[in-house]
Structure 1
Amino acid sequence: MNSNTILQTGLLDILFHNRNKDYGAYVLRKEYNKRMLQSLLGMLGLVLMFVVWQIFDGGKKMNIIPLVAYNPDTVIIAPPPYIKPPVIPVEFAQHSSNAHIQNPPVIVIDAQADKPSLEIPVPETPGIDNGTPAHIPGSDKTTVAGTGNTRDIVVPVKPFGDKSKPTFSAQVMPQYQGGVDAMLRFLKQNLRSPRDLDEGEEISVKINFIVNIDGDLTGFNVVESGGENFNNEVIRVLKKMPRWIPGKNEGENVSVYYTVPVKFTSEQ
């Protein structure tokens, strides 16, 4: 390239003088303005197509609002301003993280707890007068003809009462197999508190039932309620108990009422 052609040659040709123009960099720079113009025209064409489409398509969906003639006699009452109701803060009772289901719960056993008094009427039985022997006609000493000896005529009095009818006390009270300590262990191993208890909270339940002549537990009755869930939990565990040793009167098995108090407390 001589001095005469330099003035007529572009900067790109001077830069790539005596270099490989077929590699690609020269062509890219040479046609850069052409490609930029094509890109701008293409972008403008897309924008123009989108605008035209919006005009024609949007016109079909336009909601025409009918015009209402103005009437000066019409009074328009504005709706009352919206007043936001005050927010009343609600205080939630804090649940102590230390309170949880106590397993096992504290259990108190008292075989004679809340034992009601019972008056049993004495039926009129021959030979008994207010609990003392009464005179029975024919019971006097009588001389038997031909013997010369005397004898007492004894009228036997058969004990009354139904041993299957429950009583509130017996000569030998019924007991759990193994005694009170074994019953305590059974209750502690099987009782579960139905819910978490707050710190210091106590739930007391007293269940009265019958230990029949076979040692089975029946006739469950809530004496002191701690709530339906707690009552049902104590009754559920009592029903799981094995047979008890039945109570006895005069050496015979009898049905006896029995009360078991249970107290659920939170662990301190």
Structure 2
Amino acid sequence: MRSENILTSDLLDIVFENRNKAYGAYELRKHYKRRLLKALSAAFILAGGIACMIFFIKKEKGIKMTIDDTEYAVLASVDIPKEKPAAPKTPQAPKTPVAPKVPQQKHVANIIVTTDPFQATKITNLTDDLPIGGQDIAGDTKSHVVVPAPTKIDAGGNDVPVAPKADKETPRLAADIMPAYPGGVAALRKFMERNLQSFDDIETGKVVSVKVTFIVGYDGKLKGFQILEDGGDMYNKEVIRVLKKMPEWIPGKANGENVSVYYTIPVKFTSAE
């Protein structure tokens, strides 16, 4: 190489001056950037093609998760023996209990002093054990007399029994007003479909059913999850996982008070063709 060309020549040309450039090392170094650009372009194209294939395959064979409306809100399976309805009894007027006589002593007022023995009234000694009344009444002074509390009277003047308070802690199979998911069945289905994960191992046309019963507490919180229909460990855990993520429900009511109620949800996993 001429001395006047050294400053304008590439370092690679200076190194390989008077050497075998056809061997391959020169070619590799000379066009390295061009080959690197081609390799990166090919890699990006290949990765994009694979991603598109996976997307279209999943779109073609997706997993559909539905809640069976025909079996929605099924109570826990409990065999209750059927009883013949008893003949209605004619309501009788409540009997007013007769209160026992309470002993008391007569109150003496307006005492007049007189010298006539026939007009004088004998005054008995008052005691602190007996109440004061309008006349002397004999009664049992040994036992404690309990006067029954007044009953509740309605607008018609009839005695109305006071309804017992509902046990809100113990779960029941049914209530006057059943618990509900906020927003109703449509909101419940939307929440389940949005949060349930899909599984690729479902064969085309196959249906996997999972039925779960749980307790909706008087405070609206879900607890006591039990599997009634087993769809497999993976599917059972997925349904319970989503149920535990739910917001608080509207609790059931009995006698106007919030109570704990059993609730059952069936879920079906299906694979579309």
TM-score, reference length from structure 2: 0.48
Please tell me whether Structure 1 or Structure 2 has the larger radius of gyration of its CA atoms: 1
TM-score, reference length from structure 1: 0.49
